Amino acid sequence: MSAAQAPAPSAPEGIDTGADGGATSPLAPGAGLLGVLGGGQLGRMFVHAAQVHGFRVAVLEPDAASPAGAAADLHLHATYTDADALGELARQCAAVTTEFENVPAGALRVLAAHCPVSPSADAVEICQHRAREKAAFAAAGVPCAPHASVTTADEAATPELAALLPGILKTASLGYDGKGQANVANLAEVADAWAAMGGVPCVLEQRLPLRHEISVIVARGRDGRVVHLPVQQNLHRMGILAVTQVPAPDVPAATGAQAVVLAHRLVQALSYVGVLCVEFFVLEDGSLVANEMAPRPHNSGHYSIDACDVSQFDLQVRTLAGLPLVAPRLHSPAVMLNLLGDLWFGPGDDTPCTPDWPAVLSLPGVRLHLYGKAEARRGRKMGHLTVTAADATTARATALQAAARLGLPAF
């Protein structure tokens, strides 16, 4: 039986649903079971936030040893399109969300016929494909980099692409953390890179002169209310987020305010419900272009657990349950350091060794978050450090000490 043939359960008690599965009344904290598709660290942190609110949580995830599954009250060990598992999730859960954007949209549609689902399948589908994503930016009046679709060998060699070079060729779907991308300087390199990527649909983006990378995390409720976290300044290494600083130290207030306006504009144009992260490039001339968006909490917002009175995962719980949204307050300047599996290995050493956590935990204001992953691998996100302090200068200085003690580069 296919996912589309999943049985039609009745709506769970405690929440009303409309014809499209949308909630018409909030789910009281502590009442009912919330569901999440995906078992990674984002799902794990959602589980923790939901449980603080008194909710029980069910995770649908094929990995029996997943971080979120280990923390959840119920782990449905099945694929995301398994008809029986989707039916069970819909029968038991008052509402369902997702922790990553590549969950099959069809599975979300199956669930949405029987219980509230946020974000919607339509919104997730937009974020799954770079060309659709850029079209959504344009429709909302949010600027993005000049670009063109490359779907055939003829398109990969068309002279019109020269106006976008040098550029970055990206797979239209399934690319993340720098994967599925290639820098290209001429038409021959575009054709070669497209072929090397397997001839899948791609988007060629013009390379722009960047000053900074920032992100804005917004949350929109079913009533249309929108709130946001502070603007976050991000540093990437090898395509993977390495450092987030809040407040953004090098971003003028006017630039940050404009990024917030654009993020609000986008989430309203999409009629989005849930948490959305919008990544922006600040160009050398100070202008903003949207890079991409993620229909979920984001790595750059992890600091909010320790530095804000309402975290991005609290916002995810509130939007899913239909609870009131309040504007998060940054009570402490913060620096977040991403911890990859590389920390467990020395140069040329394939035997993992636990990092010296006591050395960093002896520093004031340092909080360690490990994601419960059984095996450390190079490039794998294993956890993060959040450093908070009374002022941004102290937070940065302590974070630099922590980085040095772990052998991480300065920033």
- In Å, how far from its chain's centre is CA 8? 30
What pLDDT is stored for residue 2 in this prediction?
32
* 210-406: CATH, from 3.30.470.20, 3.20.20.80, 3.40.50.620, 1.10.150.240: 3.30.470.20
* 146-206: CATH, from 3.30.200.20, 3.30.70.100, 3.40.50.300, 3.30.1490.20: 3.30.1490.20
* Beta-carbon count within 10 A of 135 CB: 13
pLDDT tens digit sequence for 209-229? 999 999 999 999 999 999 999
Q: How confident is the model at residue 20 (pLDDT cuts 50, 70, 90)?
A: very low
Percent of the chain, pLDDT > 90? 90
What is the four-CA torsion angle of 125, 134, 302, 101, rounded to 10 degrees?
Answer: 20
- Pairing state between β 74-76 and 56-60: parallel
Q: Could you tell me which of 271, 285, 277, 268 has the C-alpha nearest to residue 230?
A: 277
Q: Which CATH architecture has domain 3-117?
A: 3-Layer(aba) Sandwich (3.40)
Bigger pLDDT: 350 vs 397: 397
Q: How confident is the model at residue 13 (pLDDT cuts 50, 70, 90)?
A: very low
What DSSP assignment string belongs to 116-174? -BSS-HHHHHHHT-HHHHHHHHHHHT--B--EEEE-SHHHHT-GGGGGG-SEEEEESSS
Buried b (16+ CB within 10 A) or exposed e, 271-303: ebbbbbbbbbbbbeeeebbbbbbbbbbbbbbbb
Mean per-residue pLDDT for 95-123? 96
* Beta-carbon count within 10 A of 340 CB: 21
The domain ranges of the chain are 3-117, 146-206, 210-406
Q: What is the pTM of this model?
A: 0.91
The alpha-helical segments, DSSP class H, found in 197-250 are none
Give how far Cα 341 sits from Cα of 179, 345, 350, 370, 404, Å: 17, 8, 11, 11, 17
